[in-house]
Amino acid sequence: MDIATGAIGNILSKLADLLKAEYMLQTGVKDQINSLTKELESAQTTLQEIDQVHPDQLSNIDKIWARDVRDASYDMEDILDTFLVRVEGPSEPINKKRKLLEMLPDKVGGFFELFERLQEKVGGFFGKTVARHDIARAIDNIKKRLQEATERRGRYNNIVTRPSPSSVVDPRLAVMYKQVTQLIGIDKSRDELECLLSSQLGNEMLDKKLKIVYVVGVGGLGKTTLAKAVYEDMKGQFSCCSFVPIGRNPDLKKILRDILIELNKDEYMDPKFTVLDERQLIDELRAVLQGERYFIVIDDVWDIKSWESINTSAMVENNNGSRIIVTTRNSEVATGDAYHQYKLRPLSDENSKRLFYARIFSGEDKYPENEQQKVPKVAEKILKKCGGVPLAIITMASYLVGKSMEEWLEVCNSIGFCGKDKKQTSDTEWILTLSYNDLPSHLKTCLLYLSIFPEDHLISKHALIWMWIAEGFVNGGKLGDGLFEVGEGYFNELTNRSLIQPVEEENMVVKACRVHDMILDLIRSLSHEENFATVSKEISKGINARRFVLQNRVVEDTPEDNSMNTKRARSFITFRCRFSPRVNLRCFKLLRMLYLEDCKDAQLDEHVGNLHHLRCLGIRGDYDSYELPKEIGCLKFLRVLYLDHRRIGGLLPLSVGMLTQLVCLYAPGINLPSCAIKDLMALQELQICCVEGDDMSKDLFLKDLCNLSELRVLVLNCGNMDMRMESDLLISVGNLYPQPHFVYDGWLSSFIIDPSQFPRLSHLSLNMDSLRNKDLEIMGGLPELSYLYLCTYKSATLTGTTDRGYFKKLRSCLLPNSTVHFVVNEDSSVSFTFWYKGDDAPAFPFKRVKQDKCRVARAVMPNLEALLFAVNVLELTACNNGSCHNLGLEYLASLQKVTVHHHDFWLNPNSDADELIERQKAALRRTIQALPNRPTLQFIDLW
């Protein structure tokens, strides 16, 4: 249902644009558009209501109707886009006439050229008139199709009996009564969770406070199993206990009564309590808990609202050392002053094998000796598919019990958990499908889009969000938000629901994600059912999906007579393919998305200029210097140009400046003509390698830069600039509203400028060849700065006080060449030294002793969570009698992660110091682990 809903949303917005614009529509067409809009709005509302019903409870008539609406909406979208191309797009080139003109004498040629221009104008006028006739006829046809589908649904719904809601038994109920002794691989997680719930290192006051621990993880990972095991272990330590699952659509009244029944079954099973309303039940529960040391498990919370309605109304803080466990798939549920979060990890390889073999060989089914040596190899492949998820392992093991080795091998080639004949398989599907069905429509579409990526693929978060935007999945948002910010919200929501697995970098910034194989199997199955995308081995007959994906193939040149096979394809996406001789685009007539990743010889020819419908062109991979054909300028409706070839070089064609609807120009390894951005007023993100040209060209670029009023992200390198140009660049960035994330890959000599010009700058990345104390103070005064990358070969110091603090909102600080040093002075001010060991560097600063008696002021980096810096541990410890305590990191109250660039090349190359280095690293490790927040530590050796 959700796919059709998403398509309708795109059409409604395009129809609205059509009404607003001056397209000289025929008389009555606007009335037709208004009528079609109302028809589509009604269909969208009905689809949204149907979307709340579990798919197993839908009639086939409803499913057929939704399919008809979906197909009609896709066709309508094609019609609208084709109309826009015909009335706004570039005229078709007349190559033969151009060649003829070149052969004629000047006067004759001039006459023919004048005639040709007149012919093009007249032809264009009549072409647009025909287009207006066509759009009127097409709108009428689509409206009739929708009405016929609705009438047909109404006729047959009257005689077809809807299936009654099936009585589905939650498979997790069995887990609650499973003997803990039968569970495998739970010991470590159980001990860690019990430790979180236990005392606070002898602190009696904290021990008496109510503590809430949230167990977070994807469905099937064993959250309920773990919570039940801990509950059984610890309930003897409490005066009253309750374990209550709540599920997807919680009934607060039922939950409250269930908790009471668990607390005192004899009393609260009395029918008189069934007549109490929510307020009365809350009062009753609070009265019971008030004087007790209670232990309650609230299992399977889906959203914040459900948990808050229970927590704020019924849970009592009585200072008796009570404990609560909440299990959830959504990390956003974990909120409040007393909370701790425990992220449940998949089973280790060893425990996965133990669980798998325990289920396989628990009965009498044994393999003959001549086949037993095959079992470990096949099992390893199957367990890799299960990814350490206990429910998946049990499901597959139960399916394979009693089957021959040949059948095991077949499973290796076609694992999917798609069968309906096994209860365990249905259990796995049921749990994963619940998570999917709980998503709003726009997130379902975004999640299904991940089905195009290969298994175990590291998916770039940045590229993915721009692909969502180009496909039309991202709309709306708060006033002032850019498209990427809205899409990033979608990404974060899928992460919070444990449906995608985020991949962090050293600065705690999520740059990529992966999709668990179980989730991938589910969304591929749903994508196939909805005809959302086709992942194929070759361009062949029968391709009928709007998104066509090729993976790991050699793609031969496709003859034009096969173009009918791809007539419905609107997206062509490839991964790790090789094109011979080059990418053939002639068989795609209405392509909107062209994305090539890690594809050898993925060279585009001039035919790319004929893809007038194209909204996104993306090329990623380890390619040589890449150059686009000049025909790229014909793609008038292109919104995203994403060129990430990971090598520096090449020049974008000047015709890029004709792409006036471009919102993202991402080409960090490619140079940009200086005058190319003049008309790109819609740009929200600009990332390029360098600006080509002399100083005059760069001045022109900086002048044009001021006019990009929608810009949110700016990453560039203008090459060598004098101080005047540097100042102009910073002023240009300061004049943009809202301020973009600013990354400059060149070398700036200073950052002297009024910080009030950057009131909204949140991300800053710079290389500075002449850092001064004043530069550092200015950066520290940027009011919204949350991310700083600063590479320099100079040292600087600033001092913060309670009245004047620095880097107040900074969360990530990356200083790859410098060592940091915090010192509390006698007046309670904090000195922050940004130190680099060089020829003109000051003396090593870490001999200073901290003033331990002084009260520490949160004057520098009070919110810093991730810190990367460089240090020579041997030199540091030599100044402090083998200790690393003089860095002053204990003043960073919010620190969670430390990454250290270890400069071993500062050592005497002839010294045998490996053992000494390891001892000094251990000293630094002890120092970091002794910090109040116990941040994680990672060493990166720089040789």
The residues with which 510 forms a beta bridge, in sequence order, are 504
Tell me: pLDDT of 166 over 60. no
CA dist 69 to 29, 78, 99, 138, 474, Å? 22, 14, 48, 15, 21
Find out whether 616 and 640 touch, Cβ atoms under 8 Å.
Answer: yes
User: What pLDDT was estimated at residue 834?
Assistant: 85
Nearest residue to 727 (alpha-carbon basis) of 705, 750, 747: 750
Find out whether 5 and 51 touch, Cβ atoms under 8 Å.
Answer: yes
The letter for the amino acid at 561 is D
User: What pLDDT was estimated at residue 160?
Assistant: 44
Of 517 and 54, more confident = 517
Tell me: pLDDT of 878 over 70. no
Tell me: pLDDT of 103 over 80. no
Nearest residue to 201 (alpha-carbon basis) of 934, 942, 779, 831: 934
CA distance 823 to 798: 11
Tokens for 713? Answer: 């992200």
The mean pLDDT of 847-868, rounded to a whole number, is 71
User: What pLDDT was estimated at residue 118?
Assistant: 43
Tokens for 407? Answer: 């059948």
CA distance 412 to 379: 9
Work out whether the CA dihedral 269, 274, 278, 279 comes out positive or negative.
negative
Q: Phi and psi at residue 59, in whole multiples of 5°?
A: -80, 155
Is 536 in a helix, a strand, or coil?
strand
Helices 375-386, 390-400: inter-axial angle, 10-degree rounding = 140
The mean pLDDT of 769-798, rounded to a whole number, is 90
CA dist 484 to 479, 488, 530, 531, Å? 13, 6, 27, 27
CA distance 645 to 869: 29
The mean pLDDT of 578-599, rounded to a whole number, is 80
Find out whether 778 and 749 touch, Cβ atoms under 8 Å.
Answer: no
CA distance 265 to 307: 23
Find out whether 796 and 772 touch, Cβ atoms under 8 Å.
Answer: yes
Tell me: pLDDT of 638 over 90. yes
The mean pLDDT of 324-339, rounded to a whole number, is 79
Tell me: pLDDT of 170 over 70. no
CA distance 171 to 180: 17
Of 435 and 180, more confident = 435
User: What pLDDT was estimated at residue 608?
Assistant: 85
Q: What is the pLDDT of residues 712-738, one digit of tens each?
A: 888 887 777 778 888 888 888 887 767
Cite the DSSP H helix spans in 209-346: 223-234, 252-263, 265-268, 278-289, 304-314
User: Residue 244 class from Cβ within 10 Å (0-12 exposed, 13-18 middle, 19+ buried)?
Assistant: buried
CA distance 193 to 343: 10
Find out whether 168 and 249 touch, Cβ atoms under 8 Å.
Answer: no
User: Residue 843 class from Cβ within 10 Å (0-12 exposed, 13-18 middle, 19+ buried)?
Assistant: exposed
Tell me: pLDDT of 806 over 80. yes
Q: What does the angle CA 496 – CA 501 – CA 507 come to, to the nearest 5 degrees?
A: 90
User: What pLDDT was estimated at residue 484?
Assistant: 92
Work out whether the CA dihedral 828, 834, 838, 841 comes out positive or negative.
negative
Rg of the chain over all Cα atoms, to the nearest angstrom: 32
Q: What is the pLDDT of residues 107-122, one digit of tens each?
A: 444 544 544 454 444 4
Q: Phi and psi at residue 243, in whole multiples of 5°?
A: -125, 110
Tell me: pLDDT of 215 over 80. yes
Find out whether 568 and 547 touch, Cβ atoms under 8 Å.
Answer: no
Q: What residues have CB less than 8 Å from 135, skipping those under 6 apart?
A: 25, 29, 79, 80, 83
The residues with which 546 forms a beta bridge, in sequence order, are none
Q: Phi and psi at residue 3, in whole multiples of 5°?
A: -65, -45
Is 912 in a helix, a strand, or coil?
coil
What is the share, in percent, of the chain residues with pLDDT greater than 70? 76
Tokens for 732? Answer: 């240009």
Q: What is the pLDDT of residues 372-431, one digit of tens each?
A: 566 777 888 888 878 888 878 877 787 777 778 888 887 777 645 444 444 555 566 766
Helices 441-449, 483-496: inter-axial angle, 10-degree rounding = 90
The mean pLDDT of 60-78, rounded to a whole number, is 79
The mean pLDDT of 422-449, rounded to a whole number, is 76
Token pair 């890029």 is at which residue?
Answer: 656
Confidence of residue 167 (pLDDT cuts 50, 70, 90): very low
CA distance 904 to 413: 48
Q: What residues have CB less than 8 Å from 357, skipping those under 6 apart?
A: 379
Tell me: pLDDT of 279 over 80. yes
Tell me: pLDDT of 130 over 90. no
* DSSP code per residue over 785-818: --EEEEEESS-EEEEE-SSS-BSTT--EEEETT-
Most confident listed range (40-44, 444-448, 476-480): 444-448
Token pair 């904090």 is at which residue?
Answer: 830
The mean pLDDT of 309-328, rounded to a whole number, is 88
Most confident listed range (293-297, 402-406, 791-795): 293-297
Tell me: pLDDT of 467 over 90. yes
Q: What is the pLDDT of residues 186-196, one digit of tens each?
A: 888 899 899 88
CA distance 58 to 165: 9
Give the containing element (helix H, strand E) for 364: none
Confidence of residue 854 (pLDDT cuts 50, 70, 90): very low
Tell me: pLDDT of 866 over 70. yes
Find out whether 1 and 57 touch, Cβ atoms under 8 Å.
Answer: no
Tell me: pLDDT of 574 over 80. yes
User: What pLDDT was estimated at residue 486?
Assistant: 92
End-to-end CA distance of the chain: 56
**Single pTM value for the model:** 0.78
Tell me: pLDDT of 102 over 60. no
Work out whether the CA dihedral 941, 811, 760, 467 comes out positive or negative.
positive
Nearest residue to 605 (alpha-carbon basis) of 579, 631, 576, 636: 631
Buried b (16+ CB within 10 A) or exposed e, 222-231: bbbbbbbbbb
Find out whether 585 and 611 touch, Cβ atoms under 8 Å.
Answer: yes
User: What pLDDT was estimated at residue 133?
Assistant: 67
CA distance 61 to 68: 11
The mean pLDDT of 284-311, rounded to a whole number, is 89
User: What pLDDT was estimated at residue 100?
Assistant: 41
CA distance 303 to 320: 28
Q: What is the pLDDT of residues 71-97, one digit of tens each?
A: 787 788 788 787 777 777 665 443 444
CA 92 from centre of chain: 39
Most confident listed range (98-102, 781-785, 876-880): 781-785
User: What pLDDT was estimated at residue 63?
Assistant: 78
Token pair 């959302």 is at which residue?
Answer: 532
User: What pLDDT was estimated at residue 16?
Assistant: 77
CA 587 from centre of chain: 32
User: What pLDDT was estimated at residue 131?
Assistant: 66
Tokens for 556? Answer: 């031969």
Of 592 and 828, more confident = 592
Of 497 and 637, more confident = 637
| Mean model confidence pLDDT for the chain | 78
Extended beta strands in 466-509, E state: 501-504
Confidence of residue 529 (pLDDT cuts 50, 70, 90): confident
User: What pLDDT was estimated at residue 165?
Assistant: 41
Tell me: pLDDT of 624 over 80. no
Of 812 and 198, more confident = 812
Tokens for 686? Answer: 């600009």
User: Residue 701 class from Cβ within 10 Å (0-12 exposed, 13-18 middle, 19+ buried)?
Assistant: buried
Most confident listed range (59-68, 156-165, 846-855): 59-68
